[in-house]
Amino acid sequence: MVAEADPIIRVQGLRTQFGTQVIHDNLDLEVRRGEILGIVGGSGTGKSVLLRTIIGLNRPAAGRIEVFGQDVAGATPEERLALEQRWGVLFQDGALFSSLTVAQNIEVPMKEHLGMPARLRDEIAALKIAMVGLPPEAGSKYPSELSGGMRKRAGLARSLALDPDLIFLDEPTAGLDPIGAANFDQLIRRLQVNLGLTVFMVTHDLDSLHAICDRIAVLAEKRVMVIGPMADMLRHEHPWLREYFHGPRARAAQPQLREGPDGQLEEVRT
Amino acid sequence: MADGWLKAGLGESGAVLLQAGGQWDAQNVTRLDQQLRSLAPGDNAPMVLDLDQVERLDTAGAWLLYRTVKARRAEGGQADFTGLTPAYQTMLEQVAANDQPAEIEPPRPPTLVAILDRVGRGTVEVGEEAKQQIAFLGLLLVSLAGTLRHPSRLRLVPLVYHMEKVGFNALPIVGLISFLIGVVLAYQGATQLQRFGAEIFVVNLIAVSVLREIAILLTAIVVAGRSGSAFTAEIGSMVVNEEVDAMRTLGLDPMEVLVLPRVLALVITLPLLAFFADMMGLFGGMLMCWGALDISPGLFLERLQGAISPWSFWVGMIKAPFFAFLIAMVGCLEGLRVTRSAESVGQQTTRSVVTGIFLVIVVDAMFSIFFAAVGV
Ligand SMILES: Nc1ncnc2c1ncn2[C@@H]1O[C@H](COP(=O)(O)OP(=O)(O)OP(=O)(O)O)[C@@H](O)[C@H]1O
Ligand SMILES: [Mg+2]
């Protein structure tokens, strides 16, 4: 089922700009099928913009973006629709439809794309609500009645509604309590293992990066400066990377990693 | 890869054998769901679900399988899976672990109760709104008095900005509408008055109706639709983004920052707009008289002086600041009453326009009675 060879996302020579402000210049990135890729970078380096560009919400100024082997910018409306059913997106602040309850939000893609009957929709919505760790009564609440963390979980549930092959997450664990964040990491990991899900995750959560990311891409100087597994990041000499992965918060996140040899780093990610 | 399918057959020792295969995923579950639901409940024979030929299983597909087995077991029957790979096993376990019914919508009362409920709520709402409007009026006046005492606190830049938006930018539409109304009045009046050979009185008709009522009323209605709604939507979106809350925590008074500049801008510009509408209305009437009735502009102006007293003009103008105050106040109040959803912005904007126009007409009627009583 998992074809290792061809990447699920391929970005080549991407350039994005707003007016004269260039955000990405000649950026290349490949995301492999079935991996969890973490995107890190300073605030304002264009992580969210990269995500939006890949899913076709921003038009790139130059370059080529392929998802599932399909050119996103050149897709016909039908092709786009097919693409959209194969990926799920969790926006930085949830982006739930405010006039619908949480359960109805989750049901939107099932109703629009698959025409599922109401009863089945309700059942699956309930399942997704439980999966992301929301209490049952949250289903009938409106987004304005939820806490920030709950909104995020609801947004995740909606992005998982169609059991996509690929999900884009923009800072999914920001705003969750540590236990919730750890559960969330595990949920992502589990889905990835069971469904062959590919995850494109913008995150600043060092615990997530350690716990679940197969590879990490560092966005700096308008391009992907380094990409590789955690071990590479820890070894890298670039000052920003040293600061990021060896700063005070980083040390707290990875005490047991620093002792063993590199082989042991893999084991901690369960 | 094949679409998901399901075959029912007979297994060993009389068991019902359900063979599943292909893609059991979200794309296929609608069909599979129907198929599973239409399965005859059968007797209490044990059921075996064979997943050997399933190529792909996601949570939606796993849910269907799990639900079928669960239902059979709940009836006291026996049900089991065969042909499970470890991945499918985990998927089914995960679904089982998350099996909890959830609420989909807030509970809905029965229809009759719901109707009564709505009527009741609507009634209370009207009273509540009137109360809020009066309270808001009080707040606004206090804030206004504060600004009068400390004029330096007045925010000049937003004031000028809003004056441009609600006043200057409204000139074309207000002018055009008044001009056309002047034309229509002249034409309609002339055809009626011609029958008595009194078409010269069309000047009186135009002058009195435009100056006293029509110009200001039309201007107020256009402005309520144009600017009252804009006030509500602007302030409402800020409420949705928690900007108004943020303002309060920063020690800024939304009344002073958001409401006062808008109210003052409208109170200052609406009389000017009304004056412009007066002129355009008369101009339209004059052109029509000249073109269709051969009443030359010179004659028109001469009749005009005879037809009206300064009061005809002032009766219209006096009303302008009152209308402006009402429209702006309602627009801002409805904006602040937005709750944190996009839908509520739309609702309050509608309400703002409707209430604004309603109040303008009510107050206009009150003015008519007042002017009749004092005899101007
Ligand atoms: N719609 C837009 N118009 C103009 N500039 C924009 C727009 N969206 C983003 N930018 C700019 O692009 C840059 C990158 O923004 P982006 O939101 O991708 O940052 P980020 O890396 O996600 O940061 P954070 O970690 O804070 O979320 C910023 O400088 C921002 O000002
Ligand atoms: Mg961002």
* B253-295 confidence digits (pLDDT tens): 889 889 999 999 999 999 999 999 999 999 999 999 998 888 8
The two tokens of residue B353 are 């326009």
Nearest protein CA to atom 28 of ligand 1, as residue: A44
Whether B25 and chain A come into contact, CB under 8 Å, resolves to yes
Whether B3 and chain A come into contact, CB under 8 Å, resolves to no
DSSP string, B72-135: HHHTT--EEEES--HHHHHHHHHHHHT------S-----HHHHHHHHHHHHHHHHHHHHHHHHH
Length of chain B: 376
Q: What per-residue confidence (pLDDT) applies to B236?
A: 94
Categorize the per-residue pLDDT at A248 as very low, low, confident or very high, splitting at 50, 70 and 90. confident
Categorize the per-residue pLDDT at A207 as very low, low, confident or very high, splitting at 50, 70 and 90. confident
Cα(A14)–Cα(A224) distance, rounded to whole angstroms?
A: 11
Cβ pair A142:B94 closer than 8 A: no
Residue B218: name the closest of B272, B274, B268 by CA: B274
Q: What per-residue confidence (pLDDT) applies to A270?
A: 37
Q: How many other C-beta atoms lie within 10 A of the C-beta of residue B353?
A: 21
Categorize the per-residue pLDDT at A5 as very low, low, confident or very high, splitting at 50, 70 and 90. low
* Torsion B314-B316-B319-B321 (CA) sign: negative
User: Distance, CA A89 to ligand 2 centroid (Å)?
Assistant: 13
Q: What per-residue confidence (pLDDT) applies to B235?
A: 94
Whether B91 and chain A come into contact, CB under 8 Å, resolves to yes
User: Distance, CA A50 to ligand 2 centroid (Å)?
Assistant: 9
Residue A168: name the closest of A6, A270, A56 by CA: A56
Segment A66-123, tens digit of pLDDT: 898 888 888 888 888 888 888 888 887 778 887 789 999 998 888 877 888 888 999 9
Give the pTM: 0.70
Q: Which residue has the higher pLDDT, A194 or B232?
A: B232
Q: What per-residue confidence (pLDDT) applies to B43?
A: 65
Q: What per-residue confidence (pLDDT) applies to B41?
A: 63
B32 in helix, strand or coil? Answer: helix
Q: What per-residue confidence (pLDDT) applies to A1?
A: 42
Res A268 pLDDT > 70: no
Instruction: Give this complex's ipTM.
Output: 0.71
Whether B96 and chain A come into contact, CB under 8 Å, resolves to no
Cα(A206)–Cα(B237) distance, rounded to whole angstroms?
A: 35
Segment A114-125, tens digit of pLDDT: 888 888 999 999
Cβ pair A101:B58 closer than 8 A: no
The two tokens of residue B116 are 């009564």
DSSP letter for B3, please: B
Residue A195: name the closest of B126, B370, B279, B26 by CA: B26
Cα(B64)–Cα(B36) distance, rounded to whole angstroms?
A: 8
Chain A residues touching B33 at Cβ < 8 A: 116-117, 120
For residue A270, the one-letter residue type is: T
Chain B residue with CA closest to A194: the answer is: B87
Contact B99, B70 (CB under 8 A): yes
Chain B residues touching A143 at Cβ < 8 A: 341
Contact B54, B18 (CB under 8 A): no
Alpha carbon of B70 to those of A259, B76, B148: distances in Å?
Answer: 48, 10, 74
Residue A222 Cβ contacting ligand 1 at under 6 Å: no
Surrounding ion ligand 2 within 5 Å at CB are A 48
Mutate which: A87, A96, A97, A98, vs B, most B CBs within 10 A: A98
Give me the residues of chain B with pLDDT under 50, please.
none
Cα(B165)–Cα(A195) distance, rounded to whole angstroms?
A: 55
Residue A94: name the closest of A146, A134, A139, A137 by CA: A146
Alpha carbon of B315 to those of B180, B308, B367: distances in Å?
Answer: 22, 11, 9
Kindly state the percentage of chain A with pLDDT values over 70.
90
Alpha carbon of B138 to those of B255, B295, B338: distances in Å?
Answer: 11, 51, 20
Length of chain A: 270
Res A2 pLDDT > 60: no
Beta strands in chain B (DSSP E): 5-10, 16-24, 47-57, 79-82
Cα(A11)–Cα(A77) distance, rounded to whole angstroms?
A: 21
Q: What per-residue confidence (pLDDT) applies to A254?
A: 56
Mutate which: B103, B339, B347, vs A, most A CBs within 10 A: B103
| Domains of chain B with bracketed CATH | 5-97 (3.30.750.24), 143-374 (no CATH)
Cβ pair B102:A104 closer than 8 A: no
Q: What per-residue confidence (pLDDT) applies to B46?
A: 82
A37 in helix, strand or coil? Answer: strand
Residue A198: name the closest of A211, A208, A212 by CA: A212
A193/chain B closest Cα distance in angstroms? 8
Backbone dihedral angles phi then psi of residue A9, each to the nearest 5 degrees: -125, 135
Kind and range of the H or E element at B71?
helix B59-74
Backbone dihedral angles phi then psi of residue B340, each to the nearest 5 degrees: -80, 55
For residue B255, the one-letter residue type is: M
